[in-house]
Amino acid sequence: MRAMSNKYYITTPIYYVNDLPHIGHTYSTVAADILKRYHKLLGKDSFLLVGTDENSQKSSEAAGRAGLTTEEYVQEMSTKWEQTWQKLGISYNNFIRTTSEEHKKGVYDFFTLVEKKGDIYKGEYIGLYCKGCEAFVTEKELVDNLCPIHKLPPEEIKEENYFFRLSKYKEDLLKLYQDNPEFIQPESRRREIINYVQNHLEDISISRQGMDWGIPFPTDEKHRIYVWFDALINYLTGIGYGTDDKTFEEYWPANLQIVGKDIIKFHCALWPAMLMSAGLPLPEKIFAHGFFTINGQKIGKSTGNSIDPVRLTEEYGFDALRYYLFTEIKFGGDGDFSEEKLREKYNSDLANGLGNLTARVAKLAENSGGEFQLTQHTFNEASTEEYQQCIENLDFQGALQVIWQIIRSLDKTISDNELWKFKDEELITQLRPLIEDIRKVSIILEPFLPDTAKLLQSHFTGPKINALNPIFPRK
């Protein structure tokens, strides 16, 4: 058992700067934001790390196409990513850039530990390399001679590279998965990784020659560090590894690392092996979410159907987008995004459900002319065990269902008791428990719908409660 700790450290993948943020990135980042807010409300010192992966060769190719230097290009793109998370109200604590000096310093410190361990050697590599994955792929993984994820033909590459002794950690990794069944979630991903480590784990090349971009290899100037080996270390440098030991020790190991299912080999096998080699503690849990389609089609620049989360937020509000993403799609599974369904959910659950309830109660409270002395609830008092259990199990859909059951039952109370027929003291007496319940709902809504939660918390404070304009105007 881990000692009870009062911190909660959660990470999202760092995204390639040559992409633009779409609904898939938004999904994993909002999931992390929900958990960060939830643990903060529980009184924990909660830290959310986000960032951009900038050392990829793809950056310099994209810069060339854009007529910029690579430095200019990554600066411009990284700013776009950070602005997107700001516009979407993501409550991140740090935005790590892998081109930053702090990151580079931490990568070198980490490299030194791994090298001292004897886990880095020079060898010749001949392999099939997928530019999309930024990784070598094995013949077995190809489908019709194409990378199954990117549908691209891999290039054959032969060069002298430095290697990390990943295969040395095979037994340790298998033991890790065995002893900690919760380390990789969901269960389907865990089985996939166990199979990969048992049958396909090989040493991995961690340098490239002839590149003009990326972190220089510490012991050989002809090489650059292979992007995955550098990128994974962001989870350490983002909390001060190599530059601020105190902060690093406070937050590491991560409580949860959220990743997409396409990058689990790196996060569930390479990453823990790197940490074992460096002698650092392992993260507690790695959770892989599924892929998104849009109206049934795979998201991609080429298909031209990437949906801009900022545009959706401007139209429906940040909270509505969050609500839709986590009621519609079970976290961990694949999901389909459709703006049509977003609008339906918005009207049925937000405009009608929550919006209508709060407007009705506020109007009745104003009409009653009453004064309401209300109770202050802590987050723990306001939340039910079922709600907390759902979030702890990363069942966001379940937690939202718990909240909406309460909303529906409050609506039913108003209708069943025909509250509009009451007046004065009688009405005030009937309303008081309803208002208390709305206040509780507004507290447990906060991880999911932070803006709405704040608005309701400030409106239903008493003693006088005024009418409230619909918080979700119909679309």
Does residue 341 carry a catalytic annotation?
no
150/168 with CB nearer Zn ion: 150
138/178 with CB nearer Zn ion: 138
- Return the structure tokens found at 41: 């409300």
**Nearest distance, CB of residue 263 and Zn ion, angstroms:** 11
Of the residues 39, 40, 104, 147, only one is catalytic, namely: 147
131/363 with CB nearer Zn ion: 131
259/406 with CB nearer Zn ion: 259
Q: Do residues 35 and 74 make contact, with C-beta atoms less than 8 angstroms apart?
A: no
**Nearest distance, CB of residue 147 and Zn ion, angstroms:** 3
Does residue 39 carry a catalytic annotation?
no
Of the residues 58, 130, 268, 459, only one is catalytic, namely: 130
- Return the structure tokens found at 243: 């530059």
**Nearest distance, CB of residue 146 and Zn ion, angstroms:** 9
150/377 with CB nearer Zn ion: 150
Q: Do residues 73 and 54 make contact, with C-beta atoms less than 8 angstroms apart?
A: no
**Nearest distance, CB of residue 145 and Zn ion, angstroms:** 12
1/143 with CB nearer Zn ion: 143
Does residue 130 carry a catalytic annotation?
yes
Q: What are the residues binding Zn ion (CB under 5 A)?
A: 130, 132-133, 147, 149-150
**Nearest distance, CB of residue 300 and Zn ion, angstroms:** 13
What's the CA gap between 191 and 284, in Å, rounded?
Answer: 18
20/149 with CB nearer Zn ion: 149
What's the CA gap between 63 and 52, in Å, rounded?
Answer: 15
3-class DSSP string for the chain? CCCCCCEEEEECCCEECCCCCCHHHHHHHHHHHHHHHHHHHCCCEEEEEEEEECCCHHHHHHHHHHCCCHHHHHHHHHHHHHHHHHHCCCCCCEEEECCCHHHHHHHHHHHHHHHHCCCEEEEEEEEEEECCCCEEECHHHCECCECCCCCCCCEEEEEEEEEECHHHHHHHHHHHHHHCCCCEECHHHHHHHHHHHHHHCCCEECEEECCCCCCECCCCCCEEECHHHHHCCHHHHCCCCCCCHHHHHHHCCCCEEEEEHHHHHHHHHHHHHHHHHHCCCCCCCEEEECCEEECCEECCCCCCCCCCHHHHHHHHCHHHHHHHHHHHCCECECEEECHHHHHHHHHHHHHHHHHHHHHHHHHHHHHHCCCCCCCCCCHHHHCCHHHHHHHHCCCHHHHHHHHHHHHHHHHHHHHHCCHHHCCHHHHHHHHHHHHHHHHHHHHHCCCCCHHHHHHHHHHCCCCCCCCCCCCCCCC
Of the residues 80, 116, 122, 301, only one is catalytic, namely: 301
Does residue 150 carry a catalytic annotation?
yes
Does residue 440 carry a catalytic annotation?
no
Of the residues 200, 298, 464, 475, only one is catalytic, namely: 298
**Nearest distance, CB of residue 81 and Zn ion, angstroms:** 22
Does residue 116 carry a catalytic annotation?
no
What's the CA gap between 194 and 9, in Å, rounded?
Answer: 26
**Nearest distance, CB of residue 130 and Zn ion, angstroms:** 3
142/374 with CB nearer Zn ion: 142
**Nearest distance, CB of residue 77 and Zn ion, angstroms:** 21
What's the CA gap between 311 and 17, in Å, rounded?
Answer: 20
Of the residues 103, 133, 265, 440, only one is catalytic, namely: 133
Catalytic residues, by residue number, are: 22, 25, 130, 133, 147, 150, 298, 301
